[in-house]
Structure 1
């Protein structure tokens, strides 16, 4: 009996879940909360205890889940300020990583870390975690949570791999063939594009440098007391942010571009996708769509209802002229809706794309949407509006699974031409099926996520994956020290030779 009890206790100890802190603080972006909830869902399914700091509380309910709601930070980032279709059409809107975005993200993270419930968590000496998973979003401030709880941390990047994020675990990407985070360019680059991408590296490094002093002051103020209370000293933020065990990336080479990646970057695109049935009304609509279904959505951050009435009516008239059934995600029901058009304020996007009758996806080109289109093998008609959407759509066009239309007042006419061309040309469907096979030919991304999270805990931070590039100063990587040595040697040689020649000349003059 005693042996049996010991074995049971050992089994319970071995099977006990880890305590994991997951941090996705953005309250203004539904797509980011989808990724955060995906992380939480997989970790819970694997038997771990999860504390979830989130700007959009999840509807998940589980005994092992504790949520900390920081949605009060929603005033910092309002989607309508950046993603208003009418403003984009009137004034144009391109987003780049600049000082404004960097300061905004620092403000968001500082507000999150100083939230009363987060402070309560940090200042409670009984709170312990085995791992922290933090969404990287243009700022590393929240890495202080890893210092507080003295545990390893993982970055989760919602974008394709780029220099800003890869430099945290290895080194900056080569701008001659890897685009910057918000670039529209797709390799191979023209000469002008290579210059532009190189300039982006300098500007992004300068932006980061501008905030170092301010970030460190806030970092000490916010995390210092909790670390000191536990008898330790808070490291410098500039050092701490480079100590991630891993980056889990919402990317895959089938939808992205081949890039040199260190072992500590793990692509897990699609881990958020779930198999869910359609609501009964949409199931009936899609089952009865004899000519197929076109699904039209500009995503969760862009509100289509903010289009001008004339543009909405123009789109309705154009969609009504199609043979296909159309499901349009629109936050309000306009007048004069054609019989073949079905307006939904909320669309179960994955379930719609999964239906065999879905023949085309008109999308803004967010990375979640392009990943889901590839997952379910549905061709894309992209209408990018801001940020990385241009690059996502441009890549999909280059790969042969998409066509692109500009967001303009002439959108109805241009969409009609593109829809007819894509529906009538089988090459898009054939190509997307080919890439979808490549996308699926791997381990399940949710399993990868859990495996690597557990691996980091089991190996005490996975130091074996740490790149030596982080230990080498930038001037040594560029061999500037060697160049300086060669320059000194050449200069010294020239000086010595000139002195010798000068002496010979003087001797010859005296001999004469």
Structure 2
């Protein structure tokens, strides 16, 4: 009997052969409107793969972009003048966020964090909406975009400028997405029962108590209010002015042809889905490459104890100094070697076993057999890479979706969360030793890794297929449900229910009236006799 591994290998080859029979889509011309920061890192991976297949790109970027270079062999750039540096604005928000998190998790702190987050998001959307108006008012630029005859728009709808521009240019639309203007994109696309689907920011799993379900509904109400009264009107005003016939941002998002969704159900909790959502969680993950010689020598010097990798992502340069010193002091006690991406002031308690770096090949280090634990902030990219390579996570969430990401790992027994308000030398050492010494964390994460890898096509292959599918067929309207065009009372069949109740009540009333009439006639006959 052939082995299970052999069977999966044959199945994978069969899928690749079938995919090769699909009509090719060489030389596509793609317009890209990305979101900066870690979102661009994701988008760039997809662009690189599509570029290697012969497609050409034009990327619309802010003149003050953090990570999107003006010149690249992958694309031609169009700069949008930006008066404000969004990176500086975000850094101010992050500093206040970390200060509030250190104060604890009281209701007042939660309220402050929520208010600061909503204000920051609203401000960022306003800055970008102003930039979109500049583009649409520039007749020469718009004509250039029309004359280029793009095959589709590829955009990240966290900031929905590309969505509006695609409608204005009448282009098929593919979203590289996890977040939209109102939060998690899945809530906008598919039925999302709040009884078992936690709202981002709630900090709940899919197993909620009654009180948690009440809180989940309240969190969802805040999300709806933010979209309805703060963010949505900015885009809707632009749609009303520049889109023929008018529209609203929610309907534009729902009209997208394909959603390349940066998640999967190894990472996320199971939920209803729609046919034009293609889950490609971990699409950026690849087998590890050899690390630089100096780094490899340091890793191998750890011997049987292995290595701990720590990074807080592309945005956070350093934690507050008192925390940094506590972390360094704990690392110095351990027999493991530590590679720590840290851009702030060098901690005074740093041990000889800890290597401070400005940059690290994160994917390759996570795939190194010597790596034992990943200490991270819980960004989507890092979590998915840790799952791919089977490395347990000690998570220190700071903002946005990071706590929810780490909660999914912790719920599966593959990691542990340490809130910033709880982080002391003692708590950090205790959690770290648990992950190092208790084998079930690593066993559970490696099980997730096996589940993630066991697919007929890799996430990247699926993403490439569906992008080219949209180009070949000039869209994928047949995959969109008609539910989005229905009024809410029709969607929930309340009009049908009202009709049925009316019919039943009318029948009951008629029957009661007829019975009463018959009774009255019988009484009258008895009186006559």
Normalising by structure 2, we get a TM-score of 0.82
Which of 311, 329, 335 does residue 317 from structure 1 map onto?
329
Residue 133 of structure 1 is matched in structure 2 by: 154
Farther off after superposition, 82-91 or 499-508 = 499-508
Q: Which residue of 2 aligns with 1:75?
A: 86
Query: What does residue 103 of structure 2 align with?
Result: 90
**CA pair 178-511 structure 1, distance change in 2 beyond 3 A:** same
Offset of residue 96 of structure 1: 5.5
Following superposition, the deviation at residue 358 of structure 1 comes to 0.8
The total of aligned residue pairs comes to 484
Structure 1 residue 71: Cα displacement: 8.2
- 1:449 aligned partner: 463
Contact persistence 1:311–1:409 (CA under 8 A) = no
Q: What is the CA–CA distance in structure 1 between the aligned matches of 2:330 and 2:207, rounded to whole Å?
A: 36
What is residue 41 of structure 1 aligned with on the other side? 48
Aligned counterpart in structure 2 of residue 468 of structure 1, from 456, 462, 482: 482
- Summarize deviations over 1:459-498 as a string: whole Å, max 9, x none: 1211221123324332223221122113322433454355
CA–CA separation in structure 2 for the residues paired with 1:286 and 1:448: 35
User: Does the C-alpha gap of structure 1 residues 71 and 196 become closer, same or farther in structure 2, counting only changes over 3 Å?
Assistant: farther
CA distance in 1: counterparts of 2:194 and 2:212, whole angstroms: 9
Work out which of the residue numbers 290, 293, 315 in structure 2 matches 1:301.
315
Deviations 1:81-124 (A, max 9, x none): 13553342136565659854663353143134235699453242
Residues of 1 paired with 2:137 and 2:402: CA distance? 33
3-state SS of 2:185 partner: helix
2:411 corresponding residue in structure 1:
398
Partner residue of 1:387? 400
Picking from 26, 47, 53, the partner of 2:60 is 53
Against the structure 1 CA distance between its residues 278 and 114, is the aligned structure 2 distance closer, same or farther, given a 3 Å change threshold? Answer: farther
Offset from partner CA, 1:1-43 (integer Å, 9 cap, x none): xxxxxxxxxxxx97641111122234xxx32121121222122
The one of 265, 275, 282 equivalent to 1:263 is 275
Distance 1:148 1:484, change over 3 A: same
Which of structure 1's runs of 4+ aligned residues deviate more than 6 A? none
Return the offset for 1:410.
4.1
The verdict on how the C-alpha distance between 1:457 and 1:363 changes in structure 2, with shifts beyond 3 A counting, is same
Q: Offset of 1:67 from its aligned partner?
A: 2.1
* Mapped partners of 1:71, 1:174: distance in 2: 42
**2:33–2:156 Cα contact (<8 Å) kept:** yes
Offset of 1:242 from its aligned partner?
A: 2.1
State the shift of 1:298 in Å.
Answer: 2.1
**Alignment of 1:207 onto 2:226:** yes
TM-score (norm 1): 0.85
In 1: Cα distance, 2:49 partner to 2:86 partner: 30
**RMSD of aligned alpha carbons:** 3.1
Aligned partners of 1:476 and 1:410: how far apart in 2? 50
Aligned residue runs from structure 1 range 123-202, under 5 A:
123-124=143-144, 125-137=146-158, 140-158=160-178, 164-168=184-188, 170-202=189-221
Change (3 A) 1:82 1:350: same
Alpha-carbon distance in structure 2 between the residues aligned to 1:58 and 1:406: 32
Is 2:138 aligned against 1:122? no
Unaligned stretches of 5+ residues in structure 2 = 1-22
Query: Taking structure 1 as reference, are residues 47 and 424 closer, same or farther at Cα in structure 2, changes over 3 Å only?
Result: same
Cα deviation code 1:328-347 (max 9, x no counterpart): 22112233421011112323
Distance in 2, Cα, partners of 1:202 & 1:436: 35
Secondary structure of 2:420 counterpart: coil
Question: Hey, what's the Cα distance between the residues in 2 that align with 1:409 and 1:213?
Answer: 39
Structure 2 distance, partners of 1:436, 1:296, is: 20
1:341 equivalent to 2:351? Answer no
